[in-house]
Amino acid sequence: MTLIIFKTLLILIIFLISLGIAAYSTYGERKIAAFLQDRIGPDRAGPFGILQPIADGVKMFLKEEIIPNVSNKWLFILGPCIFMVTALMTSAVIPWGLPLEISGVKYNLQVADINIGILYVLGVVSLGVYGIMIGGWASNNKFALLGAIRASSQMISYELAMGMSVIAILLMNDGSLSLNSMVENQGTGKLYGFINISGMNWNVFYQPVAFLIFLICAFAECNRTPFDLAESESELIGGFHTEYSSMKLGLYLFAEYINMFISAAVISCLFFGGYNFPGISYLQEILPANIVSLISVAVLFGKIIFFIFFFMWIRWTIPRFRYDQLMRLGWQWLMPLSIINMLITGAVLIWIRN
Amino acid sequence: MQLTNRAQQVVQKEMTLAERLYLPAIFAGLSITIKHLFKKKATLKYPEVKREFAPVYRGQHVLKRDAEGRENCTACGLCAVSCPAEAITMDAAERKAGEEHLYREEKYAAKYEINMLRCIYCGLCEEACPKDAIYLTDRIVASEFTRGKFVYGKDVLVEKMDDRIDVSQRKKHYSIVNN
């Protein structure tokens, strides 16, 4: 019974944190964009403009709700709903920290430790394509449809390379798909078998190529620059959300930031040891377990925030790809590269184990 | 003629592997953008900090009074004639007895209007003025909701006695140019 209460609370907290981080990502994006361009950015709402997301949210709610006459009304409403729900659903399998111990019972800081963890993430993310596709199609607008087609073809193409790059990690993880076991494995053992720093056995040191492929694919999956052809406001007005207004547009934009948050979390968990940090076993000896657990949560969020920053940093550095460049990169470079990486990983693992 | 030594010969050559990977170029770009994160920001926080204008900035006009507070303008109409945008109109009137403290000379402008939407802020009116009466200042013309409100009359243009406008910098500049 207490487990159910704990999980419900955890879901609620993660839900609120996701929304909060998504809201403040919009602020962070504007601020970082400004700073990278020698500007100041929003600074009028509250000190340093930290109330700006609230002002933006109120603005979104107060805008007129327009549903085009020629659109398919149910699908038009369904589109942003699916996109938002799938974006929020992914957070269920991410291990947020070391187990908390409340009155002698250990609680995992993970909503569901399902044994197909990463497969679930990939599956739910690909469901997100429906949100974009349905929204773009239901608008009954050529620009929206073009944007939706671009978005879905891009997401489907890059999912393959993404999945392939993850397989290399799975091979190293004895074939287990559970994100929790992956993160735990990165916290134990010696780096390269001889460098003894506790909690530093991160996959990125073994699989830099897989990390690079995964990172590039994550950009594509989130429809972020340099792969923001789905929106490409300079060519397609706004892509799949051209016809959307008010909070339905808000849901699309919001869900994109949640996607970014979740993919930053997945990258941290797969390649950067999740909640593990150097010196974690030393802290476990001198501090109470619950405090170490909270520190581990903070460390994971530090990594996530760094990756969100990195997403934004990339956005204001690299211009958008052309469509044929996008497809060539996905199919002719990343896809073969990830397969070769997977084969080499497998061969090396067999060689080590025999 | 060579202006700078930055010019480069354009050649069509095969890209090397490093160039085709784009990653070195991307990292170079990232390091450039991150440097800008710590640079001094170019933005001025406008209402609190105002950008300093050049002394010859041509903004909203002012009709000057002399040291005793009398209007300088004699409604000679040279400004209206010189105005290429035909933005200035005026009605002249004769000074009555007892109005010597209001107007410097026997003739004055009873009505003086500048259409701020027509005005191109060229500054020819102040150059034409023989009486030191009209000057352009560094004040910016405020926005309005209707076009009619942009026709500024004497109530806006003539400087207030308790809020004199300093045009000495401007005069200095003109004296340098003229001499």
If you measure CA to CA, which chain B residue comes closest to A226? B26
In a domain, A236, yes or no: yes
In a domain, A116, yes or no: yes
Show residues of chain A in contact with B19, CB under 8 Å.
Answer: none
Domain range for A286: 62-353
pLDDT in tens, A327-344: 888 899 889 999 999 999
Query: What pLDDT, on the 0 to 100 scale, is given for residue A103?
Result: 77
pLDDT in tens, B98-153: 888 889 889 999 999 999 999 999 989 988 988 889 999 888 898 999 999 999 99
Work out whether the CA dihedral A107, A123, A262, B31 comes out positive or negative.
positive
pLDDT in tens, A201-227: 888 888 889 999 999 999 988 888 788
Q: What integer is the mean pLDDT of A179-202? A: 79
Q: Walk me through the domains of chain B, giving residue ranges and CATH numbers.
A: 61-178 (3.30.70.3270)
Distances (CA, A) of A320 to A149, A229, A235, A325, B67: 17, 7, 11, 10, 63
CB contact under 8 A, B29 and A38: no
* Helix extents (H) in chain A: 2-36, 52-62, 73-89, 117-138, 142-172, 179-187, 208-221, 233-236, 246-271, 280-286, 289-315, 323-328, 335-353
CB contact under 8 A, B26 and A316: no
Number of domains in chain A: 1
Say if residues B173 and B135 touch (Cβ distance below 8 Å). Answer: no
pTM recorded for the entire structure:
0.81
Show residues of chain B in contact with A35, CB under 8 Å.
Answer: 36-37, 41
If you measure CA to CA, which chain A residue comes closest to B40? A38
Say if residues B130 and B78 touch (Cβ distance below 8 Å). Answer: yes
pLDDT in tens, A158-185: 888 898 888 888 888 877 888 888 888 8
Q: Give A240's Cβ-side CA count (13 Å radius).
A: 30
Residue with tokens 């202006």: B3
CB contact under 8 A, A35 and B41: yes
In a domain, A157, yes or no: yes
In a domain, A40, yes or no: no
